[in-house]
Chains A and B, each alone.
Chain A
């Protein structure tokens, strides 16, 4: 599903964020990317979304080589890759329903599709009773659920999560992880960058550890360190 082949990324300011990284992720896997701040986790996420291009090496997502992808095809890639971030990225002037609907609306989905899928996914993430609330009226965990709902409403092949529990307390984090696990179980490949040790240790999933841009460990059913 995802394949990084000897990927190096050097930013314009000369900082090398990833060096010669090769990683294979199969369809339906759940993978943690761990490492300290600045180890290259976020760069990897950005590369997978083609927000940045590699300096050297190739990246394949769903069989497509991102380096050979024209800018016209980037939106198609992103429709197949859901994203969740630490700061939720919700629109505060829209209700929960409208935030999730926005993700479908702007890729041109018909209204009847939106009216069917949005309540469905909100029910799935456990927010069936909050559809008409605004983000400010929700707890952090609930806001993150909205963002996961938005990421999953278009049924992506891959879900990328960049520190999704970074702003949440431990109990709420566990709830979010249960939800991500649930999303993974219906076949979505999940790649999650984190430095939340407790969660990684509890989940016992595959762990890829980055240190200063190098892969120093790739362990199935691993722990944080």
Chain B
């Protein structure tokens, strides 16, 4: 009886408010789509950063095969430097497993190349003080060749030192600008979605002011009167959220998946990444509905 009542009220509310409800839903859709897009852009750049820098500022690649005592010796030496924050040792198995996950469904290496032969073991270092990078090269006795810029290190067992500070900084900066940019547009759109949903609720209440007046007179509780409108707002936001998710999948299939296989060493977002933003979109949609409900029904429904 009760559920049935709420369902009927909501359905008739949406029907009556057709055009306005459509405006609210499409705004909610665009807002939630942009919100999801911002999250996916951030995720895409995370993947690229992970692939290109391993999320560290400096990588020390070791000669193959790396002997355990060499690894320990170099690690201990580096750990004593002020500039060094943390050091992690990545062996071939670990590194290749990470790559396989990152590039799932797309080739990283040319066919016939064995990851475990091609990839050196490494020490991945995050700097406590990024400006003191030279401490590391000095400690390992490395010198850049004046002509080729290739780094040669005196320390036995060290093959190469890569300085990812700039790349990491730049990629992080691009991520930040892009996702914050899209996110701010999303926030503005979310605000207008809230305003439009609140407006449909208000119009619905205005259209039904006589019913509401009678409901109050005969002693219907405030919730009894409000819940159909709240559900109406929820449904509008939810339809917007579902459409937004669908649109994100479309983007992923038609734009991202086309690039797969074209780009070497460039990991791309996968279905799981799109699915991972779904809860956030639903939370944002619920927030839109609740805030719109609070705004739309304030004042109108005081006893």
Contact = CB atoms under 8 A, between A and B. Distances in A.
Please determine whether chains A and B interact with each other in the same assembly: yes
B210 to A, nearest CB: 7
A198 interface: no
Contact of A50 (B210, B214, B220, B303): B303
Contact of A89 (B2, B5, B210, B224): B210
Contacts of A72: 221
Given A50-B303, A74-B303, A89-B210, A108 B224 contact: yes
Contact of A78 (B5, B210, B211, B219): B219
Given A108-B2, A108-B224, 19 more contacts: A50-B303, A71-B222, A71-B302, A71-B303, A72-B221, A74-B219, A79-B218, A79-B219, A89-B213, A91-B210, A91-B211, A102-B218, A103-B218, A106-B215, A106-B218, A106-B220, A106-B225, A107-B218, A154-B219
A49 interface: yes
B219 A76 contact: yes
Contacts of B213: 89
A102 B214 contact: yes
Interface string A34-77: 00000000000000011000000000000000000001101111
Interface string B205-216: 000001101111
A111 B3 CA distance: 13
A91 B214 contact: yes
A113 to B, nearest CB: 10
Nearest to B217: A83
A188 to B, nearest CB: 15
A136 to B, nearest CB: 15
A176 to B, nearest CB: 19
Contact of B217 (A76, A78, A91, A110): A78
Contacts of A150: 218
A105 interface: yes
Contact of A75 (B1, B210, B211, B219): B219
Contacts of A106: 215, 218, 220, 224-225
Interface of B: 1-2, 5, 210-211, 213-222, 224-225, 302-303
B253 to A, nearest CB: 47
Interface of A: 49-50, 71-72, 74-80, 83, 89, 91, 102-103, 105-108, 110-111, 150, 154
The 6 closest A-B pairs by CB, nearest first: A78-B219, A79-B219, A106-B220, A75-B219, A103-B218, A71-B303
B5 A77 contact: no
A33 B303 CA distance: 25
A112 to B, nearest CB: 10
Contacts, number: 53
29 contacts: A49-B217, A50-B303, A71-B222, A71-B303, A72-B221, A75-B216, A75-B219, A77-B219, A78-B216, A78-B217, A78-B219, A79-B218, A80-B219, A89-B213, A91-B210, A91-B211, A91-B214, A102-B211, A106-B218, A106-B220, A106-B224, A106-B225, A107-B219, A107-B224, A108-B2, A110-B1, A111-B1, A154-B218, A154-B219
A80 B225 CA distance: 19
Nearest to B5: A105
A107 B220 CA distance: 5
- Dominant SS among interface residues on chain B: helix
A50 B220 CA distance: 14
**Which of A50, A89, A154 lies at the interface centre, i.e. has the most chain B CB atoms within 10 A of its CB?**
A89
Contacts of A105: 5
Contacts of B221: 72, 75, 107
Nearest to A160: B217
Contacts of A108: 2, 224
B220 A89 contact: no
A78 B218 contact: yes
A91 B211 CA distance: 7
B300 to A, nearest CB: 15
A191 to B, nearest CB: 15
A222 to B, nearest CB: 29
Given A77-B219, A107-B224, A89 B303 contact: no
B90 to A, nearest CB: 62
A93 to B, nearest CB: 10
A111 B5 CA distance: 11
B221 to A, nearest CB: 5
Contacts of A78: 216-219
Contacts of A103: 214, 218
